[in-house]
Amino acid sequence: MSTLEIRDLQVSVKLPDGELKPILAGVDLTIKSGETHAIMGPNGSGKSTLAYSIAGHPKYEITGGSVTLDGQDVLALTVDERARAGLFLAMQYPVEVPGVSVANFLRTAKTAIDGEAPKLRTWAGELRGAMEKLQMDPAFAQRNVNEGFSGGEKKRHEIMQLELLKPKMAILDETDSGLDIDALQIVSEGVNRVRATGDTGFLLITHYTRILRYIKPDFVHVFVGGRIVEEGGSELGERLEAEGYKKFVNA
Ligand code: ADP
Ligand code: MG
Ligand code: MG
């Protein structure tokens, strides 16, 4: 059982002129393994800033509060150490990785996280199995990471990482954006498979309610103006679908 604890997190973005622009105004959130939390909010409310801050992106400066994973200070760790500690951030490797195939990339990541290389034969089987479940062409494993990937391929690659790396906590930022209905369903099934193990806690960050039709969250948090303004169960997601964010933005 793992716990990610975010306490009164305050974050500013570093502007090119060196000035700090405050974005997160004190975020409190506790996620346990096996739980699925959705953060929903309008554009520009700071959802990605929250994800990037936990990921350790250098553009964001933590000005207050804490993030711990099973008591360990996440904010004191390097990006690599965060991954080894069991944090999975889908936006962590959004860039092209020239000359590195999907297969090699995943094996390297797995080796870094486990501290030892996976046995070749079992690994090949796991990789093949993960790709089959996501209905991906086996040739995909030999392509270079993110090079010319379509939106759907990028998302499937994220879910492949999730299935193979088995993180303690997974933060998925707008995993649903840019997916057609078929891809959304396949990606959601992937998340639900990992979720069913009960070993991973999820933070799903989204602007749209539609992914919540496929992944029913245990908790929904409404995010406006850099903080959580309302919390509830999955019925809150349904309310947002009907009513939008207006009520919370004007509150
Ligand atoms: P969301 O993911 O909810 O759409 P973001 O976290 O991306 O919100 O952005 C929150 C706010 O921070 C927005 O007003 C955005 O313009 C601002 N912001 C984020 N990154 C930067 C940046 N690098 N430079 C200037 N403003 C930024
Ligand atoms: Mg946005
Ligand atoms: Mg965003």
For the segment 194-202, the average pLDDT, to the nearest whole number, is 95
pTM: predicted TM-score of the whole model, two decimal places: 0.91
Find the 120 Cα to ligand 2 centroid distance in Å: 40
Q: Which residue has the higher pLDDT, 178 or 216?
A: 216
Distance (Å, whole) CA 170 – CA 191: 10
The percentage of residues in the chain with a pLDDT greater than 90, rounded to a whole number, is 62
CATH entry 3.40.50.300 includes domain 3-93+167-250: yes
- pLDDT bucket at 156, cuts 50 / 70 / 90: confident
CA dist list (Å): 146 to 171, 183, 186, 247: 19, 17, 19, 39
pLDDT at position 94 is 52
Q: Which residue has the higher pLDDT, 25 or 173?
A: 25
Is the C-beta atom of 195 inside 6 A of ligand 1? no
Pairing of strands 169-173, 87-89: parallel
Q: Quick check: 95 pLDDT over 70?
A: no
Q: Which residue carries 């999730």 as its tokens? A: 162
- pLDDT bucket at 177, cuts 50 / 70 / 90: confident
> Which atom, in ligand 1's list, is nearest to the CA of 15?
24
> Which atom, in ligand 1's list, is nearest to the CA of 16?
24
Find the 45 Cα to ligand 3 centroid distance in Å: 8
> Which atom, in ligand 1's list, is nearest to the CA of 52?
6
Measured on CA atoms in the order 48, 95, 127, 184, is the torsion positive or negative? positive
Q: What is the pLDDT of residues 72-84, one digit of tens each?
A: 999 999 988 998 8
Q: Which residue has the higher pLDDT, 20 or 148?
A: 20
Is the C-beta atom of 78 inside 6 A of ligand 1? no
Q: Which residue has the higher pLDDT, 143 or 150?
A: 143
Q: What is the pLDDT of residues 28-78, one digit of tens each?
A: 999 999 999 999 999 999 999 999 999 888 899 999 999 999 999 999 999
Q: Answer for the pair 89, 50: CB distance below 8 angstroms, yes or no.
A: no
pLDDT at position 183 is 81
Is the C-beta atom of 112 inside 6 A of ligand 1? no
- pLDDT bucket at 93, cuts 50 / 70 / 90: very low
pLDDT at position 249 is 85
pLDDT at position 91 is 62
Q: Tell the burial category of 120 from Cβ atoms under 10 Å away from its Cβ (0-12, 13-18, 19+).
A: exposed
Question: Beta partners for 12?
Answer: 22, 61
> Which atom, in ligand 1's list, is nearest to the CA of 46?
6
Ligand lying closest to the C-alpha of residue 42: 1
Instruction: Provide the ipTM.
Output: 0.94
Is the C-beta atom of 11 inside 6 A of ligand 1? no
Q: Answer for the pair 36, 217: CB distance below 8 angstroms, yes or no.
A: yes
Q: Quick check: 192 pLDDT over 80?
A: yes
Q: Answer for the pair 205, 189: CB distance below 8 angstroms, yes or no.
A: no
- pLDDT bucket at 187, cuts 50 / 70 / 90: confident
Q: What is the largest CA-CA distance in the chain?
A: 57
Per-chain mean pLDDT for the chain: 90
Laid out side by side, the sheet with 20-32 consists of 20-32, 3-14, 60-69, 72-73
